[in-house]
Structure 1
Amino acid sequence: MNPTEVAVIIPCRNEAGSIGDVVSRVPAGMQSIVVDNGSDDATADRAREAGATVVYESEPGYGSAVTAGVTAADRDVVCTIDGDGSMDPAELLDLVADLDRGADLAVGRRRPDSPRTWPLHARAGSAAVAAYLRRRYHLPIHDIGPMRAIRRDTLMSLGVADRQSGYPVELLLRAGQAGLRVTERDVRYTVRTAGQSKVSGSIRGSVRAARDFVMVLR
């Protein structure tokens, strides 16, 4: 697949310290769309300086930001990745290649480079939800991660409605219900290059995300 067919959506809130580097490492030819989800720092300026298209989404929530990016994208394939520098955008190429090989949805399984990269309280929730989806829908997944690739038309047809942290869970749930072919690849997961995680950076954030996960699965 030609990189010019791919849009990379990067939802952000207060990631001024890392977003420029993330955008600069997006593979050449791919469209970078940074969705500023209520930042009160220079995230948008740093993203624009690095060459990204900046979209503003005032409704808070990961799902709101991703949906705004998908709406703004004008490429056949959409990918997502966080803007905190914890993952390498170059690894999106492998996920996009899985679509070429017949996958409908390709997701990244985070492989932390050290114990402090991914706190146990954050890892446990993702693992539990992934185990449920494996049992219920036979999806070959072990992580509810933020790095993924899917054709835009396919994503739009799924009708993912969650606008908070439950978005990636609902996406996988609907993919399983629709019988889509899902693949999973290991991706390197490192300590964020700046700022603090809104989810795994605190027990409170992880509990809030877990609540959103459960609401989607009910």
Structure 2
Amino acid sequence: MTVDVVLPCLNEAEALPWVLARIPAGWRALVVDNGSTDGSAEIARALGATVVHESRRGFGAACHAGLMAAEAEFVCFCDCDASLDPGLLAGFVRTVADGGADLVLGRRRPRTLGAWPVHARAGNLALARMVRRRTGLNLRDLGPMRAARREALVGLALTDRRSGYPLQMVVRAGEAGWRVREVDVPYLPRSGKSKVTGTWRGTWQAVRDMRAVLDAAGPAAVVSTGGARTATSGGGR
């Protein structure tokens, strides 16, 4: 079983040592440098990660560049800001490998009051309501931590290159009949300032990006009642 972990990165020099130290042994870390100016790429390379350069700015652009560079049977995604522990992805991959789900998502559970700013949480709640209304999937979060098989992910033909990328992945997986499972993961205060949810403007830009994905998917893209399309919430590790 081979695993590549895609880590989109924009000026995360401070967090990289912590994050890369928690990649499970034998897995490959793919740090996708999205135009860092703080030496992130050099630090990642010195710590043993494979560095992929993506000049087009955008969370989706970085994630997709990592997916295209991946070669392993399984691909995981995780933020590179030390807010999520990539070591927890071992459980995600086991679930997919054992046939328990086709896509496993991490539901963020804040461990401190400052881990998830009020405006970011409000944006997430608004998005969750849109997801339930437009797709039928009863997910509580659309966080960046997830795992699936590489070949299947490539087959989704994802096109969004902004903040809507994680949502488009879920919507198209649902349309394809994937079994989607959500598990709790601790959400820690990030290192440095968020490029997306660090401000109200960034948060609502992300919500607009994701709303566009839902509008494109249509009002009944996914049915969550029974069978392979049911999303369930499970306990964290």
Normalised by the size of structure 2, how large is the TM-score? 0.87
Q: Find 2:43's aligned residue among 43, 46, 57.
A: 46
User: In structure 1, how many angstroms separate the alpha carbons of the residues matched to 2:200 and 2:92?
Assistant: 30
C-alpha distance in 2, partners of 1:126/1:19?
Answer: 25
Letter of the 2:178 counterpart: L
Partner residue, 2:89: 92
Shift of 1:119: 1.1
Q: In structure 2, what is the Cα distance between the partners aligned to 1:140 and 1:154? A: 22
Superposed CA deviations along residues 75-128 of structure 1, whole A, max 9, x for unmatched, are: 011000011001111110111122023311000000001121101211122233
1:140–1:184 Cα contact (<8 Å) kept: no
Q: Which moved more, 1:62-71 or 1:170-179?
A: 170-179
Instruction: Tell me the equivalent position of 1:11.
Output: 8
CA-CA distance at 1:20 after TM superposition:
2.0
2:72 maps to which of 67, 70, 75: 75
| 1:129 Cα deviation after fit | 2.4
Contact 2:103 2:181 in 1 (8 A): yes
Show the counterpart of 2:152.
Answer: 154
Match of 1:142 in 2: 140
Q: Which structure 1 segments of 5+ residues have no match?
A: none
For residue 138 of structure 1, report the CA deviation from its aligned partner. Answer: 3.8
Percent identity of paired positions between Structure 1 and Structure 2 = 50
> Distance in 2 between the 1:171 and 1:97 partners?
20
Q: Distance in 2 between matches of 1:137 and 1:55?
A: 33
Q: Is the 8 A contact 2:131 2:214 kept in 1?
A: no
Establish whether residue 214 from structure 1 lines up as the match of residue 214 from structure 2. no
Q: Deviations over 1:45-75 (max 9, x none)?
A: 1111111000000000011001110111110
Unaligned 5+ runs, structure 2: 216-237
Corresponding residue of 2:23: 26
**Within 2, Cα distance between the matches of 1:105 and 1:215?**
22
AA aligned to 1:119 is P
Match of 2:161 among 160, 163, 183: 163
Q: Which residue of the partner structure matches residue 226 of structure 2?
A: none
1:177 aligns with 2:188: no
| Counterpart residue type for residue 125 of structure 2 | A
Alpha carbon RMSD of aligned pairs, Å? 1.3
SS in 2 for 1:32: strand
The answer to whether the 8 A contact 1:7-1:30 is kept is yes
3-state SS of 1:209 partner: helix
C-alpha displacement of 1:137: 3.7
> Partner amino acid for 2:107?
R
Aligned length: 214
Question: Bigger CA drift: 120-129 or 79-88?
Answer: 120-129
